[in-house]
Structure 1
């Protein structure tokens, strides 16, 4: 049976009229889109404060919800607006049956309103709204909170949805992931701290999930920590060569699944020494991602759990400077994964 692809409101709406920004977050559209609909299709708020500020009543919002559902089904916006204006939909008193959001909604649970709005926009494949909502969340909440409370829960919900629905909703995950990657790459890094060794970020060989590492790269950049980002599926030999060539303060190796987590590679990287003979150094190895499990395959490695705590660990390491072994001349460790 075909389900309505547009999520619906999870909770009863407040009796008080809402601002345009609040309504936009509720629906998963941008404030610009709401103003455009009002101007083009006369589907606007019933009242304004002081003649200028838009205030949307529950009845106004119910019409907008109907318009969103119709446009998600392919109805042209003009026709959807006429139908919404003429229908005068009733305001829901409680969530629809079948769980918050209806049959087509993402399984979000208890989350921030910004998260629900982002999910609605992603399911509608509204790329411009997804981008604007992501940028607004980053600007208002900061990267760490936006990632933990808006972006990551939505990504996880999309993953659960398509995993339980066969091949459906994969396009939603791809669109959302692309937009998340784009906004993370646009975060401007702070000037790098002088004489600070870089942090090397890479995904294990065969690992294609890069967004958590991209978020970590952006967060380190905000703090002026220099980063060498290698992204998805870096071959084992290339990773070892990069460690020897750059002498990083730390190496973060991401594995989303146990299939890509390579204990032999972790042991090899942990054993690499670099630098001049008699003054060799080594890099801290930090294993990130659920693929590694709770422990580590090498006592010299450390596990990272979550963006915020992992960021604290790396910032402290960067401030301490690279450790030197002081060992006798040693040959480079083999990369035997």
Structure 2
């Protein structure tokens, strides 16, 4: 007797088991069977249907192709051709996107943008709304805990759109949908958010490393990035670090939950052209600390200078008085940080911050 409760492999798996494995509903599998003939090859009268390994491979290919944006009918034809015994040794099906490599250095892929206002019916159970089709594919892969597919979808989005556009139109909407889902379902989707966040972080850090290796930084003051004390959400700052490095700006990434004293010490020691402070919620937004950093000056007597401070993240609210800057997204944060660093450089603000007279 199998104490695990799983069906012996030779008997195949039930529709319910396969649905859980793929992250789709049993109704979806039955619909694919009824509409496109993507069902078990062998059926036993009077028993639940059993899906053999070949059947499972065929449906997995269907999931992969639809996640890549292939229309369901076309994806079903390609999946059946690739996983029918008569075609077992055939090459890739014409018109079906081949699985691209998942490692670094993959070639960019052209990704077609759907018509504006196309509503998402992701089949993932996530509240996606009106989004790009890449969001639907990424959500499906994350919900079914398909690590390879998540990595593939994130890499494709970055390669096709670039970091800023991919972050704003693909990665952020999907991350927000996952976050809303687990908040409303008693943490049922925490593992999905963690998986997705890890792969997004890996892609952003890979982009940062590649840019820093191949793009020498300009001789301008660095941009310092830090989360406020108690703030653990670093992904937006990782995206900003990668994009700024692509723009040849030096970056000092301090990461999550930086204590106030350490943040002030870093500003005084390094003399950044801009300081970006991330706050995800109002509980971590500290306007007094932000103003203190903006007022901190250093340098020789008669030529003291200071950093521009950018308040990023929803925790800050909508409005803040000068001299604090309030970017509304990644693109605006990049533009403000670049302008601040270049302004400091042109004003001769590259003096060593450790000189006497520092306040």
Q: Structure 1 length as normaliser, TM-score?
A: 0.70
Query: Relative to structure 1, is the Cα distance of residues 22 and 311 closer, same or farther in structure 2, using a 3 angstrom cutoff?
Result: farther
DSSP-derived class of the 2:231 partner: coil
| Residue aligning to 2:257 | 233
User: For 1:99-110, what aligned pairs fall within 5 Å after superposition?
Assistant: 100-102=121-123, 105-110=125-130
DSSP-derived class of the 1:303 partner: coil
| Residue aligning to 1:91 | none
Per chain length, whose mean CA-contact separation is higher, i.e. which structure has more relative contact order (CA < 8 Å, sep 6+)? 1
Query: Relative to structure 1, is the Cα distance of residues 316 and 44 closer, same or farther in structure 2, using a 3 angstrom cutoff?
Result: farther
Deviations 1:250-300 (A, max 9, x none): 00000000000011111111111122222211000000000000112x521
Residue 319 of structure 1 and its aligned partner are, at CA, apart by 2.4
Residue 220 of structure 1 and its aligned partner are, at CA, apart by 0.4
Match of 1:149 among 142, 166, 169: 169
| Residue aligning to 1:178 | 198
Is 1:26 the equivalent of 2:66? yes
Whether the 8 Å CA contact 1:199–1:225 is kept in 2: the answer is: yes
Match of 2:336 among 313, 318, 324: 313
| Residue aligning to 2:318 | 294
State how far apart, in whole Å, the 2-side matches of 1:289 and 1:246 are: 24
Query: Relative to structure 1, is the Cα distance of residues 22 and 300 closer, same or farther in structure 2, using a 3 angstrom cutoff?
Result: farther
| Residue aligning to 2:223 | 199
User: For 1:132-143, what aligned pairs fall within 5 Å after superposition?
Assistant: 132-143=152-163
DSSP-derived class of the 2:255 partner: coil
| Residue aligning to 1:279 | 303
| Residue aligning to 1:223 | 247
Residue 194 of structure 1 and its aligned partner are, at CA, apart by 3.6
Unaligned runs of at least 5 residues, structure 2 = 1-15, 37-60, 70-74, 97-119, 350-355
| Residue aligning to 2:352 | none
Whether the 8 Å CA contact 1:279–1:324 is kept in 2: the answer is: no
Query: Relative to structure 1, is the Cα distance of residues 25 and 277 closer, same or farther in structure 2, using a 3 angstrom cutoff?
Result: farther
Whether the 8 Å CA contact 2:218–2:248 is kept in 1: the answer is: no
DSSP-derived class of the 1:239 partner: helix
Match of 1:304 among 295, 309, 327: 327
State how far apart, in whole Å, the 2-side matches of 1:125 and 1:28 are: 16
| Residue aligning to 1:87 | none
Count how many residue pairs are aligned between Structure 1 and Structure 2.
269
Unaligned runs of at least 5 residues, structure 1 = 16-20, 58-98, 333-337
Q: Structure 2 length as normaliser, TM-score?
A: 0.66
Report the RMSD for the aligned CA atoms in angstroms.
Answer: 3.6
